[in-house]
Structure 1
Amino acid sequence: MYEVAIIGAGPAGASAALFAAKAGKSTLLIDNDKGMTRRGWYENYYGIAEIGGPDLVETGHKQAVKFGAELVAEQAVNLSPSGDGITIETESGKTYEAKHVILATGVLTDLAAKAGVETKDGTEPRIKTVIAVNAEGKTNIGGIWAAGTVAGVSVHAIITAGDGAKVAVNVISELNGARYVDHDMLKA
């Protein structure tokens, strides 16, 4: 069983996976490679002069994998509570289990709704429905969290990346039983 599974590997999902894996948590990152970030051009992403969406997504995947996240190219089709975690079923029929699942599915709420996760009206232009979350990113179902556009934050990639990191820190903190902080220092 994974400690953390993230569904969706755009900026929110890959950022969440990067934080979880770097914190030493067994981390699964499931991506169907259909996210809208790949179609974008970014000149407003802090720390990067400019970058195309495909390169931004690939860089995020590489960072998460570098720290130990397992990246799986699949379409998640079902979530169900099981024992002390959540079972994720994919289109190919494979199943994965995780203590915590972070939904970072961009504009898509169908997987969440099918699992009984509460949704609400979105506030961003063209985003009709989002997952209802509390300030930490928790949904109404224990062990299921949401981050990024699907959780109602702005569609801007830099903002969704930050939200993915925030939710991951909250999941890690819950797993650890104490607030988690990750600050690297320059080597002397």
Structure 2
Amino acid sequence: MYDITIIGAGPAGASAAIFAAKAGKKTLLIDNDKGMTRRAWLQNFYSIMEINGPDMVDLGEKQAVKFGAELVRDKAVDVQINEGAFEIQTENGKYETRYVILATGALVDLAETIGIRTKPGTEPRIKKVLDVDVNGKTNIDRIWAAGTCAGVSVHAIITAGDGAKVAINIISEINGERYVDHDVLKPTT
């Protein structure tokens, strides 16, 4: 069983997976490889002069895998509560997890299918978003949301930060204390 499963590997999902896996949580990242970041050209992402969307998504996935996340290329089609855990049904398999992070970009159909409340979106062309609290929690216990589907701006840098925030909040809940991931530069001799 996974500790945290993230559905969607764009900037929000990959950032969440990076933090979750780096914190030692058994992490699964499910992505169907069709996110809107794959069509982006980015010149406004902190510390990156410019990058195309496909390269950014690929790098985010590689970084998550580097820290121990498992990446599954598939489409999640349902999430059910099963004896205190969640069972995520994909087109090609089933996965059990304790926590779910939805990072599905502009798409909220899966969330609606499983009973997560929505509200009108505020970004251009984003009709509906998930109704989450300031921490990213949805109306279903242990299902959280991050990024555009959670109502934050579609800008990749903002969704990436939101994914990290939501992962840190879940890690803190699991650990029973506030989690901080801060690496320190090693001194040179």
Q: If the TM-score is normalised by the length of the shorter chain, which range does it land in?
A: over 0.9
Equivalent residue number for residue 36 of structure 1: 36
- CA offset at residue 33 of structure 1? 0.2
Structure 2 distance, partners of 1:13, 1:44, is 19
The answer as to whether partners of 1:85 and 1:143 remain within 8 angstroms in 2 is no
The answer as to whether partners of 1:113 and 1:119 remain within 8 angstroms in 2 is yes
| Number of residue-to-residue matches in the alignment | 187
Consecutive unaligned residues of structure 2, counting only runs of 5 or more, are: none
Equivalent residue number for residue 95 of structure 2: 96
Consecutive unaligned residues of structure 1, counting only runs of 5 or more, are: none
Structure 2 distance, partners of 1:88, 1:150, is 18
The percentage of counterpart residues that share the same residue type is: 68
Equivalent residue number for residue 129 of structure 1: 128
Structure 1 distance, partners of 2:54, 2:151, is 23
Equivalent residue number for residue 21 of structure 2: 21
After the TM superposition, which residues 24-173 of structure 1 pair with which residues of structure 2 at under 5 Å, given as runs?
24-92=24-92, 94-173=93-172
Following TM superposition, the consecutive aligned residue runs of length 4 or more in structure 1 with deviations greater than 6 angstroms are: none
SS in 2 for 1:125: coil
Structure 2 distance, partners of 1:9, 1:184, is 23
- CA offset at residue 175 of structure 1? 0.6
- CA offset at residue 38 of structure 1? 0.7
Structure 2 distance, partners of 1:97, 1:143, is 13
Equivalent residue number for residue 176 of structure 2: 177
- CA offset at residue 105 of structure 1? 0.2
SS in 1 for 2:148: helix
- CA offset at residue 83 of structure 1? 1.6
Residue type at the aligned position of 1:169: I
Instruction: Please tell me the root mean square deviation across aligned C-alpha atoms, in Å.
Output: 0.5
State the TM-score, normalized to the length of structure 1: 0.99
